[in-house]
Structure 1
Amino acid sequence: MRKKTLFLSCLAVITVLTGATACGSGIDENKSASTESPSAGSGANVKKDKVTFTIFNGVAGSKDGNTNETTIGKMLEDQTGVNFKLEFLVSDLNTKIGTMIASGDYPDVLIPDSVIEEVMNAGAFIPLDDLIDQYGPNIKRVYGSVLDQIRAKDGNVYYLPLSAQVGDFIPDPEPDAAFWVQRRVLEEAGYPKIKTLDQYMKLISDYAAKHKDEGLTGMVSLTNDWRFFVTSNPPMHLLGYPNEGNVTVDMNTLEAKTYAGSDATRRWLKALSDLNANGLFDKASFVDNYDQYIVKLTSHKVLGFFDYKWQVGNALNVLKDAARKDPSQDGYNYFPLPITFDENTPDAYIDPQGGIVTNRGIGITVSAEDPVRIIQYFDNMLTEENQTMIGWGLKGETYEVDDNGRFYRTAEQIAKIDEAFNEEFGFKYYNWNWPSYDAHSTLANGNAKGVGYQPEFFQMSLTDKDKEILNQYGVQTYTQMFAKPVYRAWYPAWSFVKEQNSPEQIWETKKDELAKKYFPRLVLSPPDKFDSVWDDYAKEFSKLDTAGYEKWTTEQVKKIVDAAASE
């Protein structure tokens, strides 16, 4: 597959305070003198003295612990001598990071997720250029020109994106996002073709009406903190666009348009309002935290929801594990549907190949006493051998190789690798949030880096019930029910880096504030109040500089497209 290297250096970059640049390279010459550079293949020359570093991950959903308590983490510790003590978010991200900034006390490594601009402006990250030059041959190999795309205004790189495309691009046999519905709902309805939002809502309502005594919830959503996008993003997808964040981008004109104040958002919220009026929307969606949301998805009581697979993977895996052990539980599994407003609108739930996410990453902080060991650990992770281990595990234990060199898993291996095994082995902890090959990547031997992207594995992982329902729809993979993605050089627009307190960032902040204020009222108010509440919302939304935000975003899109076309 022809690879397209994108130059996103035209993006606006983060403004870095002088406190960050004053840190220099972050290399302690006395410490680095006794630290050997890792080899490009095995990390065998990495300094072996045992050391533990701290790392904070600004995303909730995993248990705190040490990497060397997992199989993968212990093997990486054996190679490098490095262990990481992991801490994950359990409260409000802004509060947690704000406390760090105010005190100046940081973990050794920080993954600040959506508040990376605040961390940068506080001068919390050290520059990585000298470290990468001296100790990062694999970082250079994997990230290449991507490093130029994330340089700050002072010319330095302060964090690494959490993945980069390597080799060929392999599509996922499962959609990246969807409107999900319990399989038992489809089965009882005779496996109908469900394409539109109206059909989806009727499907859920009809099932709930026939099972009134089961205490079912028609739909649940998520609004907790930064995850509010689960409730605000659907209009974009219902219009037939992929996840660009706050905008949709016209493929012909490249014009970016917001949708938060559009009729599409009104139609989506009105559908939820009607569902709520019939007692089928979970009102607690506007107060539940992420953990409560995941628990509800595994409760067997929620018939449907919209979300991204990466965010609900834990819940889906729990349900899949239960169904493998007891096929009678299969009906509680969720099936993805490509829902749009209108039947003739092609969906875009499968992420297209495009650029790279530049406004998320992992960085070494000013509190780290030995950044050399940390960058060596990152570099060692990026060897082919370790990316194979992180993706597939150990040959003979978690995967096999056929006579043609193709990786696969046996039925016994698939059965044993459940959610508990993923935690113990380390697949869960190393799947994301580290420097890595993107899951869509290929290894040098042609196998997929991500196990789920390997066609042989996907077919082997299907249960008889999986095959039965896929056969009902005449497909072999879930994504065959979805439209094929269209290449977008700029994708995703939500990752365009915005300077702190820029007009674009201010627009996003005010837009989010309005959504969090009015969306609960729009959904939960009596239906006869919906129009008046919407009018109030639209009036407040009209005060924002939406035209300026759209103009800026359109400029970024066109610059990237022009740069890609000039190669």
Structure 2
Amino acid sequence: MKKMLAVLLALALIFGTAAVAEDGTPELITVTVFRGEAGEQPTADNRIYRKIEEELGIRFDIRFLTGDLDETLLQILSEDTYPDLIDGANSDEILEDAGILIDLLPHISEEKTPNLYKHLYTDNRINQLVTDDGKLYIIPNYGINYNQRSLTYANGPAFFLQKQVIAWNNYKVPTTLNEYFDLIERYIAANPETPEGVPYTGFAILCDDWHRYCLVNPVQHLMGRPNDGDVIVDVSTPEYKTETFINQPYAKAYYAKLNEAFNKGLIREETFHWNYDQYMDALSGGSVLGMFDQNWNMSAANDALYMSVKFEQTYLALPLVYDPEYVDGREIEEHYVNYDVMNKDRGFGISVTCPYPERLIAMMDTFLSDEWQLLFQWGIEGEDYYVDENGRMRMTLEQFLAQAADTEWKLANKALAIWEGCPKKEGTMDDGNAWAPMEQPEIYYDQMTDYDKEFLAACGKKLPIDFFNPPLELAPYGEAWQIDKDPIDMDYMDFEQIEDQWLPEIIMCDPAELDSLWDDFVDEISHSAAVYSEFMQEEILKLVEKAAK
């Protein structure tokens, strides 16, 4: 009897003040959830949600985004009771600023939540995540690695090019801006239309809403830096010299090249008016030869081309740099791939109206155990994957396709709506296997089409990541795009609006007018750029100081 009481007491500590039945299972609760992304409801018999309910006593009532994100969040703020778990996606700051999320730190300790404690306090990660007043409202849903990460492809920024263009070029892969556009021009001259008779677009530029990074961000990467948003940071200097790049002389070279491409017919005016769906439709149809984007943003188009068996029209990510002529004769070393940055202020927060915060924090701690991470990411051994004689986790083609492409299977066998918003393990397990199946080199290679294997071999590579340099060590400030711009919101809004107005005009202008238009652009943006640069410089130094503590 005393042993039973001790067990019940321990469970009560884990599950807060929840009632516990005699068999040790916690009282069943229904947790309301908001996800700031579109999604589909899981099946009623989803095996992971069923396991969560049976073992943790938690059932979910999930609401997905159906309209504008910011408008939806403001609607939530007007309600008397908020969802228990809220993932505001790219607008989580709205929730934090409104004060509707609880501070998680008082609920996290080495004794009560050992997995969360290790997750946050290893390498003093917590110092980079807390607010200026020492609070933690959201535990990052991505970006915390265990051991060494095993990369198989670059999921971030890159210039993309259809593989058939490279094959046509005898598998010589462009590495500089000039080589890239020269190849596109030569290919279109020889092959003006798709096999279906649709004229090729040489290069597309997505400008729709927050996807505007496709228009603005390439300059920093051409200069050899990873993604810091709107600024370039010189990490070799003790003061971390920071400047906006868009108004610098080296940025002009990129937009002059785009202007040249536009006047040669390689870029179409319609690209500046496409919304995201139109852009993805064009990519998915195979009529766009190249673009700059983030792989995670355009990968669905690649998937569609694979499903249509248009393997040669799928895209390869390339880490282009400026030709020496644009940077005073210097040879630039590419650094597109950064070591993972913690996805600060992205993921689930717990609302102040949630009646059982302790249970949700305990749930997140449980989910970070190896047992649950394996279930979330790999599934069940023998059903969803197998372990070979060398201890390596593998999948048959059927198992891989179910997890990667079968929507109905995922709704019944995965718990993506919850898992994506919760903290998770990335990198590798202690035995060397990758936490993410697609980062297991054997699995990635095995699932590639014969076309891709032969194509990469002809390029002298085995995996797509082989075109990129190894990841840079993450700067102590993380990546500068994460810095909250609210303190200078008006100047920052002005900065972005000037870019959005002027850059398409510069790209589409008569070449004879380019110099004068560029000078006018630099003059108009100079004030907001100066305010922005000074602000970012100060914020970066604060983060560097915080990381050193």
Bigger mean CA offset, 367-376 vs 451-460: 367-376
1:136 to 83, 104, 113: 113
Question: How far does residue 534 in structure 1 lie from its aligned partner after superposition?
Answer: 2.4
1:511 aligns with 2:495: yes
Please tell me the residue identity of whatever aligns with 2:215: T
Q: Tell me which residue corresponds to 2:533.
A: 550
2:218 to 226, 234, 239: 234
Question: How far does residue 360 in structure 1 lie from its aligned partner after superposition?
Answer: 2.8
Look up the SS of the partner of 1:349 in the other structure: coil
Matched residue count:
517
Kept in 1: contact 2:219–2:245 (CA 8 A): yes
Q: Tell me which residue corresponds to 1:331.
A: 312
Q: Tell me which residue corresponds to 2:166.
A: 186
Kept in 1: contact 2:344–2:482 (CA 8 A): yes
Assess, with a 3 A threshold, how the Cα gap between structure 1 residues 450 and 117 changes in structure 2: closer, same or farther.
Answer: same
Assess, with a 3 A threshold, how the Cα gap between structure 1 residues 523 and 127 changes in structure 2: closer, same or farther.
Answer: same
- 5 Å matches for 1:488-527? 488-490=474-476, 492-498=478-484, 500=486, 502-503=487-488, 505-527=489-511
1:53 to 27, 32, 47: 32
Look up the SS of the partner of 1:543 in the other structure: helix
Question: How far does residue 166 in structure 1 lie from its aligned partner after superposition?
Answer: 4.1
Q: Tell me which residue corresponds to 2:251.
A: 265
Deviations 1:76-131 (CA, angstroms, capped at 9, x unpaired): 34433434344444544333333333556643322223333332121121222333
Look up the SS of the partner of 1:155 in the other structure: coil
Kept in 1: contact 2:208–2:274 (CA 8 A): yes
Unaligned 5+ runs, structure 1: 1-28, 38-43, 324-328
CA distance in 2, matches of 1:177, 1:377: 34
Please tell me the residue identity of whatever aligns with 2:348: I
Give the aligned CA root-mean-square deviation in angstroms. 3.1
Look up the SS of the partner of 2:32 in the other structure: strand
Assess, with a 3 A threshold, how the Cα gap between structure 1 residues 139 and 534 changes in structure 2: closer, same or farther.
Answer: same
Select the structure of larger CA radius of gyration. Answer: 2
Q: Tell me which residue corresponds to 1:75.
A: 51
Assess, with a 3 A threshold, how the Cα gap between structure 1 residues 262 and 282 changes in structure 2: closer, same or farther.
Answer: same
Assess, with a 3 A threshold, how the Cα gap between structure 1 residues 334 and 166 changes in structure 2: closer, same or farther.
Answer: closer
Assess, with a 3 A threshold, how the Cα gap between structure 1 residues 432 and 284 changes in structure 2: closer, same or farther.
Answer: farther
Assess, with a 3 A threshold, how the Cα gap between structure 1 residues 210 and 378 changes in structure 2: closer, same or farther.
Answer: same
2:344 to 358, 363, 370: 358
1:162 aligns with 2:149: no
Assess, with a 3 A threshold, how the Cα gap between structure 1 residues 561 and 372 changes in structure 2: closer, same or farther.
Answer: closer
Q: Tell me which residue corresponds to 1:198.
A: 178
Q: Tell me which residue corresponds to 2:128.
A: 149
Please tell me the residue identity of whatever aligns with 1:413: Q
CA distance in 1, matches of 2:363, 2:267: 47
Question: How far does residue 235 in structure 1 lie from its aligned partner after superposition?
Answer: 0.6
Bigger mean CA offset, 301-310 vs 208-217: 208-217
Look up the SS of the partner of 2:285 in the other structure: coil
CA distance in 1, matches of 2:497, 2:245: 15
Look up the SS of the partner of 1:306 in the other structure: strand
Kept in 2: contact 1:68–1:84 (CA 8 A): no
Unaligned 5+ runs, structure 2: 1-12, 325-330
Question: How far does residue 331 in structure 1 lie from its aligned partner after superposition?
Answer: 0.7
Look up the SS of the partner of 1:303 in the other structure: strand
Look up the SS of the partner of 2:301 in the other structure: helix
Deviations 1:492-513 (CA, angstroms, capped at 9, x unpaired): 332554373x24x444332222
Look up the SS of the partner of 1:516 in the other structure: helix
Assess, with a 3 A threshold, how the Cα gap between structure 1 residues 492 and 150 changes in structure 2: closer, same or farther.
Answer: closer
Q: Tell me which residue corresponds to 2:375.
A: 389
Look up the SS of the partner of 2:527 in the other structure: coil
- 5 Å matches for 1:313-352? 313-323=299-309, 329-342=310-323, 344-352=331-339
1:172 aligns with 2:151: yes
Determine what percentage of the aligned residue pairs are the same residue.
Answer: 26
Question: How far does residue 301 in structure 1 lie from its aligned partner after superposition?
Answer: 1.4
Question: How far does residue 414 in structure 1 lie from its aligned partner after superposition?
Answer: 2.9
Please tell me the residue identity of whatever aligns with 1:158: Y
Q: Tell me which residue corresponds to 2:93.
A: 117
Please tell me the residue identity of whatever aligns with 1:34: A
Please tell me the residue identity of whatever aligns with 2:318: L
Look up the SS of the partner of 1:509 in the other structure: helix
- TM normalised by structure 1 equals 0.82
CA distance in 1, matches of 2:508, 2:83: 41
Please tell me the residue identity of whatever aligns with 2:117: K
